Amino acid sequence: MKVLKFGGTSIGSPHRMKNVLKIINDEKDIIVVLSAISGTTDELINIAGLLYRGNKKEASMKADILGKGYLKLIPEIYDTNKYRKEAESVINTHIDYLRSFTLKEFSKKQEKTILAQGELMSTALFFLMAKEHEMDPSLLPALNFMRIDKDGEPDMFYIRENLDRELKNVQGLGPVITQGYICRNAYGDIDNLKRGGSDFTATIIGSVLTADEIQIWTDINGLHNNDPRYIDHTEVIRELSFDEAAELAYFGAKILHPSSVVPARSANIPVRLKNSMHPEDEGTIISSAYSSSGYKAIAAKDGITAIKIKSDRMLLAYGFLRKIFDIFELYKTAIDMITTSEVAVSLTIDDNTRIKPIIDDLKNLGTVEFESNQTIICIVGDFIAEDTGTTVEIFNALSKIPLRMISYGGSKHNISLLTNSSNKKDALNALHEHLFKK
């Protein structure tokens, strides 16, 4: 059994949806996970924001525009009037539902319900399409089996039990189609796996069902060894370990949701990244199989804030780091990079929402400086500590780039550097020249 996940751009037009249908037509025994059609989730976030601010008229207008956009696609997606009518009624039901929120009091809690409409619409349309092509598909509601616990983590036990039950009831012999991203939380309310979370849905399903392979289909031939937006001649990485993929997904490569590597790694299920515009390309395979050592890829993560805490009290003291970490834990803010000296600690965060109380609390421990607009440049590969020369090559490459923090040795798969975002392009280029064009 395989799980195939298609992202929003892969189903972003009638032509592309038909392409996906062709791809899955050649497969047997598959579960298809779909994102919302590209742009939809952003639009739904807008609508929820308008409702939250009490701007009902504009919210209703935006819902109309969204609906019209979908209705325009329908004649092209389906060949027969029967299915066109059915699809129209699906879309009208969802848009009416969105509009119904303008008639009542809106609370933040309902936002998630609004966001869920994107995946509900895309899967309903795709299901009808597969039906029209006599593929005998089944539509499995993710809200019946996907669940997160109180900490926002997938509740694997619940998911396994309920997915098994749902699958037992499946009548169709063709592909099973389900929604990515959406789920219920510990209280049974509609929730989601955060932006880009459909990848996570796919790897969770793949791991609870012990799939042979999980495929993540996007519009690029797999993971590249550098950011194609800034570097001219990047290359696709054909093989990666789970550890390398986890570092890359977290530090910049937008192609894969960072958490999605976790279930696949723990169930040891290979993840293949494929391009729906070029299905013949083998893509990138992420697995536990050994792959060669050395540099694999360079990635960058923007929007980073660096924080430095300096205190003489740190000198020869223990417990100081714990006090710092407690503050970040209190405000549920993750630390990415950290470096220490005897009297100071520098660290980075990518989520600025609680920065003010964090800084206020840190000030009780020492003097605090912070600076935003930083970028983490991350070099991923398999670096063996005994190998000499790795760091020399990197620093030679970056001899003209001002570096603010350096982190090496945290794992053997990642060397991270912090620099001002204005240096990002130069740093990516310099590293590319030195490390990959030898």
List residues binding ligand ASP (CB under 6 A): 7-8, 35-36, 41, 118, 180-181, 195-198
Which one of 50-58, 95-103, 189-197, 405-413 is the stretch in contact with Mg ion (CB under 5 A)?
189-197
CB 394 to ligand ASP: min, Å: 33
How far is it between the farthest Cα atoms of the chain? 78
CB 182 to Mg ion: min, Å: 14
Neighbour tally for 285: CB within 10 Å: 20
Residue 258 binds Mg ion, judged by CB under 5 A? no
Pairing state between β 213-218 and 190-192: unpaired
* Count of residues that interact with Mg ion, criterion CB under 5 A: 2
CB 252 to ligand ASP: min, Å: 17
Taking CB under 5 A as the criterion, the residue among 3, 7, 178, 337 binding Mg ion is: 7
Q: Considering CB distances under 5 to 8 angstroms, the limit depending on partner class, which of ligand ASP, Mg ion, none binds residue 181?
A: ligand ASP
CA distance 80 to 88: 12
Measured at the alpha carbon of residue 114, what is the angle toward residues 161 and 35, in degrees to the nearest 5?
60
**Position closest to Mg ion via CB:** 196
Q: Considering CB distances under 5 to 8 angstroms, the limit depending on partner class, which of ligand ASP, Mg ion, none binds residue 8?
A: ligand ASP
Closer CB to Mg ion, 111 or 199, in the complex: 199
Identify the three-state secondary structure at position 32: strand
Contact by Cβ (8 Å): 131, 137: yes
Q: Considering CB distances under 5 to 8 angstroms, the limit depending on partner class, which of ligand ASP, Mg ion, none binds residue 41?
A: ligand ASP
CB 43 to Mg ion: min, Å: 16
CB 193 to ligand ASP: min, Å: 8
Q: Considering CB distances under 5 to 8 angstroms, the limit depending on partner class, which of Mg ion, ligand ASP, none binds residue 118?
A: ligand ASP
Residue 196 binds Mg ion, judged by CB under 5 A? yes
CB 35 to ligand ASP: min, Å: 3
Q: Tell me 178's DSSP state.
A: E
Q: Considering CB distances under 5 to 8 angstroms, the limit depending on partner class, which of Mg ion, ligand ASP, none binds residue 195?
A: ligand ASP
**Position closest to ligand ASP via CB:** 198
- 356: buried, middle or exposed (CB in 10 Å: 19+, 13-18, 0-12)? exposed
Which one of 11-19, 196-204, 233-241, 337-345 is the stretch in contact with Mg ion (CB under 5 A)?
196-204
DSSP per-residue codes, 48-117: HHHHHTT-HHHHHHHHHHHHHHHHHHHHHH-SSHHHHHHHHHHHHHHHHHHHHGGGS---GGGHHHHHHH
Structure tokens at 48: 């929820």
Pairing state between β 271-275 and 284-287: antiparallel
Query: Would you tell me the crossing angle of helices 14-25 and 111-132 to the nearest 10 degrees?
Result: 60
CB 195 to ligand ASP: min, Å: 4
Q: Tell me 28's DSSP state.
A: S
Closer CB to Mg ion, 104 or 195, in the complex: 195
Show the beta-strand stretches assigned E in 278-366. 284-287, 294-310, 335-340, 344-349
Q: Considering CB distances under 5 to 8 angstroms, the limit depending on partner class, which of ligand ASP, Mg ion, none binds residue 197?
A: ligand ASP
CB 338 to ligand ASP: min, Å: 29
The size of the chain, in residues, is 438
Neighbour tally for 76: CB within 10 Å: 13
Measured at the alpha carbon of residue 303, what is the angle toward residues 297 and 304, in degrees to the nearest 5?
80
Residues that bind Mg ion (CB under 5 A): 7, 196
